[in-house]
């Protein structure tokens, strides 16, 4: 059972308290419409041993003002990016480098966990030491932002089945082992699909990647008016995934960051 898991080496935070088991990395850029809903969903989680690292890409709306209203109830550290510094793998690595827990959870500012036990259910997969990472699916239908039960009806069929040894890890809602991320950080030479590359590398090293429907998220670009931009990504993703599948494994990834030693 998950409740038997420990804090590993018992690393300490700057306050002298044991580090939370999980650090949740949230990427934001002008997320005022939905960041409040995402943080409210995290505040309702049955598993509470987590801290949030919010990596903000120079938001110019009320995103950070909304985040501040949660700071009295949630442990949140805001890490700002400089203009032009953003990429998916770099921002995820930057946030992860600030965490000291055993697990890293990745959640964009407009991804909404599908249940109050979302984090606990996802972590339960790690009772198996061979599991490197777990993620769920998502739906583009934005109903779930307003009614989770109704929104769950729009999850695609393939997101309702638990799959093992599945390379389709997605940082729209994922949890990975921090020690394995330190061995292979997200490759900053990739503009996108760094999560898929990470999963492929872990599978090549003999670990398991799981797709768990209990970790599903509501993650829609339609509500944000990004439909055209989102659809244009599919061609790029297909070409990039094909390239990633041809990589020789095991390999080394690249990050410009100096990673923590423990």
pLDDT digits (tens, 9 = 90+) for 157-174: 999 999 999 999 999 999
pTM (predicted TM-score): 0.91
CB neighbours of 210 closer than 8 A, spacing ≥ 6?
125, 131, 133, 134, 135, 162, 163, 164, 166
Q: What span, in angstroms and rounded, lies between the C-alpha atoms of 85 and 57?
A: 8
> pLDDT tens across 212-257, in order?
999 999 998 776 655 556 666 777 888 999 999 999 999 999 999 9
Q: Is 207 helix (H, G, I), strand (E, B) or coil?
A: coil
Residue 63: its pLDDT value, please? 97
Q: Mean pLDDT, to the nearest integer, of 25-44?
A: 96
- pLDDT of 11 > 60? The answer is no
Residue 260: its pLDDT value, please? 73
- pLDDT of 148 > 50? The answer is yes
Domains in the chain, start-ordered, CATH in brackets?
A: 9-245 (3.90.550.10)
Q: Mean pLDDT, to the nearest integer, of 23-40?
A: 96
């Amino acid at each position: 059972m998950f409740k038997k898991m420990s804090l590993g080496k018992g690393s300490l935070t700057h306050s002298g308290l044991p580090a939370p088991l999980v650090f949740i990395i949230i990427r934001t850029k002008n997320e005022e419409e939905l960041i409040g809903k995402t943080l409210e969903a995290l505040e309702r989680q049955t598993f509470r041993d987590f801290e949030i690292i919010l990596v903000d890409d120079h938001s110019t709306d009320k995103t950070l003002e909304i985040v501040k209203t949660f700071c009295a109830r949630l442990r949140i550290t805001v890490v700002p990016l400089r203009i032009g510094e953003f990429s998916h793998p770099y921002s995820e690595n930057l946030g992860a480098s600030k965490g000291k827990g055993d697990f890293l959870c990745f959640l964009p500012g407009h991804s909404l966990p599908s249940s109050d036990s979302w984090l606990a259910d996802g972590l339960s997969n790690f009772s198996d030491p061979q599991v490197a990472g777990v993620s769920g699916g998502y739906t583009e239908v934005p109903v779930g932002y307003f009614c989770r039960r109704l929104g769950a009806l729009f999850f695609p069929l393939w997101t309702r089945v638990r799959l093992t040894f599945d390379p389709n890890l997605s940082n729209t809602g994922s949890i990975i082992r921090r020690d394995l991320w330190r061995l292979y950080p997200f490759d900053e030479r990739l503009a996108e699909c760094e999560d898929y590359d990470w999963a492929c590398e872990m599978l090549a090293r003999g670990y398991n990647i799981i797709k768990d429907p209990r970790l599903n998220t509501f993650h829609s670009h339609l509500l944000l008016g990004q439909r055209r931009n989102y659809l244009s990504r599919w061609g790029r993703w297909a070409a990039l995934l094909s390239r990633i599948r041809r990589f020789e494994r095991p390999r080394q990834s690249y990050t410009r960051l100096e990673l923590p030693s423990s």
